[in-house]
Structure 1
Amino acid sequence: MIDVVDFFCGCGGTSAGLRNAGLNILAGIDINADAGKTYQSNFPAAKFFLQDIQKLSPSELVEALGQRPNRQLLFAACAPCQPFTKQKTSKREFDERKGLLDHFHKFVKEIRPDFVVVENVPGLQRIKRDEGPLGRFIKVLAKLRYKFDVQVISSQDYGVPQIRRRLVLIASRHGKIAIPTPTHGLTAPKRPYETVWNWIGDLPPLEAGQSHESVSNHRTAALSDQNARRIRATPENGGRLDWPADLTLDCHKTHSGHTDVYGRLFKDRPASALSTRCISLSNGRYGHPTQHRAISVREAARLQTFDDDFEFFGSLNSMARQIGNAVPVKLAEALGRQLLEHVADPRNHSKPN
């Protein structure tokens, strides 16, 4: 059995996927109260630390986890990605979140988990190359004699119905390890990519601003009268370029970019990457494929491959933020299965360095 401590766990996308793969979720750590409530509700047996890891010491964590004889340990970390993403709106030179991966170092150095998984946006590896957050972390792993693999991968290659490129690092103290081989793609023997309609097409219809009485979190944001007219003027697979002139925003009349905003999701393709505003019609291609509204919280969760019994808490905007920030469940599950295969290989049964 591999025990998991999920740093920057958010609502629990990484934990959900690793649990599905067969790993034991021991603890989650996050500073967001709404995400913490969601995490605790869905992982009741796990310890939860509503705490800034800059103020949590490795000794406190070890003491809280207690005795774990003959158990292997995985540290998973998905530090907040907003400082490194192309979609950021702030140009602040200093953002304290940029240093959070560096604070993760102390836990790896002092506790020496058997395995480490780090997930973030692809831009992380381009920040000052060798001297950026990822470069510094890789130097720590190399000094501690971990074997690791790091790649930019696509979530849709692992059964996620969403085009979402992520930087993933997987490391082991027990031997060579690699990012799992993609399972989905355009050519055999890979399985076909998952589509939006495969994942949300069976959910009951809703109007904008409604909640479904029996489907958990199947709740949609309200629309202004003008935006209601806009989505009704948007055909299947369409977007703002299909509107009549009187519905076009002034800022779009002289701007040819950002054509996905106000668009409908394509039924027969993976979804566009979900952001923290994934239930807002004006913030991406998040319109429902056929209904006159943006996607619901539950639909967004399904596109992140959360099970329907995974319940989210907080305001509409908070739940959308939790889902948009989450690691897709099936991607985390693929990483968990890779770790279990690694452990089962007799070549990796030696004591760690």
Structure 2
Amino acid sequence: MRQEAFSFGEPSAPSFNGRELIVDSFAGGGGASLGIEMALGRSPDYAINHDDAALAMHAANHPETIHLPHNVWQVSLKDIVGQQPIGLLWMSPDCRHHSKAKGGAPVSPSVRDLAWVLMRWLKELPPAQRPRVIFLENVEEWQRWGPTILAEDGTRRADKTREGETFREWVRELGGYGYPHIEWRERRACDFGTPTIRRRLYLVARRDAKVVWPTPTHAPLHGSKDGIVRAWARGHGLTLDDLNGLNGHRTAAERLPRSSTGRGPALPFSWIAKRRKPSRRALASELFGPSQSRRMLGSRRA
């Protein structure tokens, strides 16, 4: 079934009284924008994404933001911001063709190269209007971004012998636009109170001051002091004494609705104990019922 496009109408220029603008590019449903709102007290002024469904969710979460349903290559930041300076630009380029989850499958150079749009935006902006701070978030493999090669089957594959070449070139060019302070680190949100252990790469570029990284607020306190906790502390530049007073990592189970007895989750997860790796059909049947799961997945065996 064809999905109807979500219409945002023609964006109008708001009055920001000369304040610095916040732009969320490659905006999804609004997760990064929520973090920005929590940190700075307001939502981004502009959100850019080519996907109507993603921007529809973003608009529901951030109704005061102006939403631009365009391919990033069709966007001119200079035309959007006018004479106003940009305080913060957030970028989360498509990660699919960098992630290890892709394995040895063919990759798309056009998707891998999406981050180059930043240089186009910086080039068209006068130096005084360029973002004072740039954040980029992606999978950890993004720092190994390199050229692709033509495989025998005619598809493009990542060139394993030249990993990181394009990433280093991108960082050098970014520095040439007036960003003397560029740093990147791998971080896990669970170290700062969010229940997810997925590792992500965060790059920060500033043209006004040095980069200051936050100190973790949560730690794996239930591990061995001679093992995982010691390694964790060392990785964050901390000592074991620094862990005193930190909360332990939170879990996703905290966010699940509880049963009426309060002794377990209200969701039917009995399959966890029964199967080592449940099939899609078994999971769908348990959560949605046999009839609905058949409509979702069809009659083919999973």
Using the size of structure 1 for normalisation, the TM-score is 0.56
Distance 1:83 1:143 in 2: 27
Distance 1:43 1:203 in 2: 32
Read off the aligned partner of 1:114 and give its amino acid letter. Answer: R
**Aligned residue in 1 for 2:214:** 180
Instruction: Please report how far the alpha carbon of residue 148 of structure 1 lies from its aligned counterpart in structure 2 after TM superposition.
Output: 2.1
Aligned length: 222
Instruction: Please report how far the alpha carbon of residue 117 of structure 1 lies from its aligned counterpart in structure 2 after TM superposition.
Output: 0.2
Distance 1:95 1:138 in 2: 18
Distance 2:124 2:187 in 1: 30
Read off the aligned partner of 2:21 and give its amino acid letter. Answer: D
**Aligned residue in 2 for 1:92:** 106
Distance 1:10 1:105 in 2: 21
Distance 1:136 1:198 in 2: 43
Equivalent residues in 2 for 1:207-246, closer than 5 Å: 232-235=270-273, 239-240=275-276
**Aligned residue in 1 for 2:153:** none
- Equivalent residue in structure 1 for 2:58, among 39, 50, 55: 39
Q: Is the 8 A contact 2:23 2:86 kept in 1?
A: no
Q: Is the 8 A contact 2:186 2:200 kept in 1?
A: yes
Instruction: Please report how far the alpha carbon of residue 131 of structure 1 lies from its aligned counterpart in structure 2 after TM superposition.
Output: 2.4
Using CA pairs under 8 Å that are at least 6 residues apart, name the structure with larger relative contact order, 1 or 2: 1
Structure 1, unpaired ranges of 5+: 208-230, 241-260, 263-280, 295-315, 317-353
Equivalent residues in 2 for 1:268-287, closer than 5 Å: 282=280
**Aligned residue in 2 for 1:170:** 204
Q: Is the 8 A contact 1:9 1:30 kept in 2?
A: yes
Distance 2:200 2:216 in 1: 13
Q: Is the 8 A contact 2:185 2:203 kept in 1?
A: yes
Instruction: Please report how far the alpha carbon of residue 23 of structure 1 lies from its aligned counterpart in structure 2 after TM superposition.
Output: 4.2
Read off the aligned partner of 1:121 and give its amino acid letter. Answer: V
Distance 2:92 2:26 in 1: 6
**Aligned residue in 2 for 1:161:** 195
Read off the aligned partner of 1:160 and give its amino acid letter. Answer: T
**Aligned residue in 2 for 1:244:** none
**Aligned residue in 2 for 1:293:** 287
Q: Is the 8 A contact 2:43 2:62 kept in 1?
A: no
Instruction: Please report how far the alpha carbon of residue 184 of structure 1 lies from its aligned counterpart in structure 2 after TM superposition.
Output: 1.0
Structure 2, unpaired ranges of 5+: 1-18, 147-162, 222-242, 261-265, 289-295, 297-302
Instruction: Please report how far the alpha carbon of residue 203 of structure 1 lies from its aligned counterpart in structure 2 after TM superposition.
Output: 7.8
**Aligned residue in 2 for 1:50:** 69
Distance 2:259 2:172 in 1: 47
Read off the aligned partner of 1:73 and give its amino acid letter. Answer: G
Instruction: Please report how far the alpha carbon of residue 55 of structure 1 lies from its aligned counterpart in structure 2 after TM superposition.
Output: 1.5
**Aligned residue in 2 for 1:20:** 38
1:293/1:95 CA distance change after superposition, 3 Å: farther
| Cα deviation digits, residues 67-120 of structure 1 (max 9, x gap) | 54xx65100000011001111267224342111101122123333111100000
RMSD after superposition: 3.0
Using the size of structure 2 for normalisation, the TM-score is 0.65
Distance 1:167 1:105 in 2: 20
Distance 2:113 2:65 in 1: 26
**Aligned residue in 2 for 1:222:** none
**Aligned residue in 2 for 1:125:** 143
Identical-pair percentage: 25
Q: Is the 8 A contact 1:148 1:177 kept in 2?
A: yes
| Cα deviation digits, residues 139-174 of structure 1 (max 9, x gap) | 122212321220011111111111110000112111
Q: Is the 8 A contact 2:88 2:134 kept in 1?
A: yes
Instruction: Please report how far the alpha carbon of residue 3 of structure 1 lies from its aligned counterpart in structure 2 after TM superposition.
Output: 3.1
| Cα deviation digits, residues 15-63 of structure 1 (max 9, x gap) | 0111011244101000111101111122111111100011122332224
**Aligned residue in 2 for 1:115:** 133
Read off the aligned partner of 2:207 and give its amino acid letter. Answer: R
Distance 2:170 2:214 in 1: 21
Which has the larger Rg?
2
In the TM superposition, structure 1's runs of 4+ consecutive aligned residues that sit over 4 Å from their partners are none
Distance 1:282 1:168 in 2: 33
